[in-house]
Structure 1
Amino acid sequence: MFSGKSIMPIKSAMKSGALACAAIAMAASAAANAGVVIKSSGPSASQYPVGKKIDDSGRITLKAGDSVTIMANGGTREIRGAGTHRVAERGVSKRSTFAALTKQRSNSRVRTGAARTGTGPLSSVRSNLWYVDVTESGPVCVADFSAVRMWRPERELEATYVVANSNSAEHLHVTFAEKTMIADWDAARMPLSENSPYTISGPGNVEPVTITFAALDAVPDNPEDLATALIEKGCTSQLELLATKMM
């Protein structure tokens, strides 16, 4: 049989373990509820730099002329003007929007569905965060280097773009069929390399654009953490798209 003296240390250890678990749970909850600044301007911009984490249940104090855009509570909110403002507001859930925007699509699985031949209005905004805009320079974050897809903002005519790697003599021709806004990057012919500059030249006298790819080791499952990852990699175009779609 155990004596009272031998039982006391066990109870103490159990209590300590419970407190530790509670502390971990609280920390995880706090991390999950952390909003992130994605755009900031005005007199208080230095207090709220891009990438700053803010408790989405808290408040911020701004001055006249301030504008702070925050990703918090699963959505984007732009806060303007002097006064004390709540960081997040309850609204319609954006979970389905986020899921569609960040869905990773295999080239082989989606190739036949890529050609949108409908006669609906033309959208100049990408429907998926991982599509590479052939008209815009800058870093591009990639979730899967083996299934990169190119996107153009128009679809009326067939068009071919030439991709060149500055570190190689190889060229890749990416052809968009008529009425199609999406085309595959042939990774077998031109494998992607992180941080290598790629020049994309389009038809006509349009100025070529230069892009670099940055790999995301894991894609966060919430807008706040994904915004932070995009900021850290310098993928501002995708950050703006995320902010717009989650508005």
Structure 2
Amino acid sequence: MARMLLIAASAAAILSSATATAAVLVVRSSGPSAGAYPPGKALPDDHVLKLKPSDTVILLDSRGTRTVQGPGSFSVSASAAPAAAVRTAGTSARRVRLGAVRGTATRSVWQADLGRSGNVCVANPADLGLWRADSSAEASVTLTDAGSGNKADVKFAPGQSIAPWPAGLPATSGTKVNVTGLSAPTTLTLRVLTPLPTGLEGMAQGLIRANCEAQLDVLIDTFSAHSEG
């Protein structure tokens, strides 16, 4: 019995240690070594990236994002990485949850980009919003549930880039929504995240697994372009 308890305790310690050290997440990669560093791959703090020419890897952890470009060998730790090869921006959990400031509007990860077809991750349906890139003129956008045919019109005033998700269209997983009224029609596919992601790395992992590319771009941009010291 004592031997079984010792084995169980050892296994738990190993698992806990592995979880604690896998603190850096790959969120983007391109180039010859991209297959070795796919988005969503967790790396321990002491891992060394061995990159070839044309390789680019974007890393994320609680301290911010770091863009690493080859060729060369680079520590994934922000403090150990060569300054010339790594760009770091620290961002608090609260700032990321709210989104990056764009002029007078706040862009959130949980806003659907109306001009870009693809998956839209939903953490809390009550927080789901809409965003348009060009807010120079007023616009009337129609959202149509591809399954039920239900429609909802959303009005944007000049200078307005953000609007709430229409209450008439339930934000359920798998729903396809056709968007018309902007420069080109798009289709959004809703993906409700369950369980809810926790922490910055958990949020990024959720977006990667659900293939919510537009929102992952917002998350990366928030980290890399806006520093809170």
TM-score (norm 2): 0.79
- After superposing the two structures, state which structure 1 stretch, 134-143 or 193-202, moved more: 193-202
Find the counterpart in structure 2 of residue 193 from structure 1: 172
> Structure 1's 56 and 223: CA in aligned 2 closer, same or farther, altered over 3 A?
farther
Displacement after TM superposition at 1:103 (Å):
4.1
Bigger Cα Rg? 1
Preserved contact between residue 172 and residue 192 of structure 2 (Cα < 8 Å): no
Identical aligned pairs, as a percentage? 30
Deviations 1:175-197 (A, max 9, x none): 1234322212222x221231121
Find the counterpart in structure 2 of residue 242 from structure 1: 219
> Structure 1's 170 and 215: CA in aligned 2 closer, same or farther, altered over 3 A?
same
Displacement after TM superposition at 1:148 (Å):
2.1
Find the counterpart in structure 2 of residue 107 from structure 1: none
1:71 lines up with 2:60 in the alignment:
yes
**What is the rounded CA distance, in whole Å, between the counterparts of 2:98 and 2:61 in structure 1?**
21
Deviations 1:160-214 (A, max 9, x none): 1000111122111011234322212222x221231121111125xx210101010
Displacement after TM superposition at 1:156 (Å):
3.9
**What is the rounded CA distance, in whole Å, between the counterparts of 1:48 and 1:142 in structure 2?**
26
TM-score (norm 1): 0.74
Find the counterpart in structure 1 of residue 200 from structure 2: 223
> Structure 1's 28 and 190: CA in aligned 2 closer, same or farther, altered over 3 A?
same
Deviations 1:5-53 (A, max 9, x none): xxxx9xx69x959x82x86466345424422222222222221222222
Displacement after TM superposition at 1:89 (Å):
0.5
Give 5+ residue unaligned stretches, structure 1.
1-8, 105-119
Query: What is the alpha-carbon root mean square deviation over aligned residues?
Result: 2.8
> Structure 1's 92 and 193: CA in aligned 2 closer, same or farther, altered over 3 A?
closer
SS in 1 for 2:126: coil
SS in 2 for 1:102: helix
Find the counterpart in structure 2 of residue 112 from structure 1: none
Give 5+ residue unaligned stretches, structure 2.
80-87, 225-229
The count of corresponding residues between Structure 1 and Structure 2 is 212
